[in-house]
Amino acid sequence: MKYFDCIIATFFGAGFFPKAPGTFASIIAFLPIIFIPHSYKSIILLLGILLILLLSPPVIKRVEQKYGDDPSIVVIDEVLGTWIVFCSPIIPTTFLSAIIGLSLFRLFDISKPWIIQKINKKKGALYVLLDDLVAGLFAGIILNLFYFIYRIVFFVYFLEKYSIY
């Protein structure tokens, strides 16, 4: 395994965190999002997602050859899932959205409901990424729904409170 493979697969060493490396990597993956201006957030994250999808499969394959199927040090898939959760242009980069989004993603990634479990049972580097991609999509959809409902409730409250009728 090359040094480059280790850097990519472990997301700059986050995969070596002794307890819950996937959760740690998800938190680390969220931190740069804070500094991206909201108007550029979606495009930058989509480019990052594309880069991970292009670079990671051969890297993960080489790491799996040394450490076995889906080793815990491989956390680039958690980075992919986290970035998918927050790539929506609707979601603001706030502490609350971070807590809800990361919690939803980790919930789906750890519990592996329905189709995520079917994907996770398959072997290969692409499937290592794919289960987190789907978990990120599920978490992102729910986060968008939460935010949409929140906006509607706030709007209705505002209309009722300041209505002239």
Q: Tens digit of pLDDT for each residue in 29-70?
A: 999 999 999 999 999 999 999 999 999 999 999 999 999 888
Q: What whole-number distance in Å separates Cα of residue 36 and Cα of residue 117?
A: 33
Residue 98: pLDDT over 90: yes
Q: What whole-number distance in Å separates Cα of residue 27 and Cα of residue 105?
A: 11
Q: What whole-number distance in Å separates Cα of residue 34 and Cα of residue 98?
A: 10
Question: Number of helices and strands (H, E) in the chain?
Answer: 7, 0
Task: Tell me if the pTM is above 0.85.
Answer: yes
Q: How high is the mean pLDDT of the chain?
A: 93
Q: What whole-number distance in Å separates Cα of residue 159 and Cα of residue 34?
A: 32
**Residue 164 has what pLDDT?**
64
The domain tally of the chain equals 1
pLDDT-derived band at 1, boundaries 50, 70, 90: low
Q: Average pLDDT for residues 82-100, to the nearest whole number?
A: 94
Q: What whole-number distance in Å separates Cα of residue 143 and Cα of residue 98?
A: 10
Provide DSSP, 3-56. Answer: HHHHHHHTTTTGGG-SS-HHHHHHHHHHHHHHTS-HHHHHHHHHHHHHHHHHHH
10: its two tokens:
């472990």
Q: Which domain covers residue 18, as residue numbers? A: 3-161
Residue 2: pLDDT over 90: no
Q: Classify residue 139 by burial, with Cβ atoms within 10 Å: 0-12, 13-18, 19+.
A: buried
DSSP secondary structure letter of residue 70? S
pLDDT-derived band at 165, boundaries 50, 70, 90: low
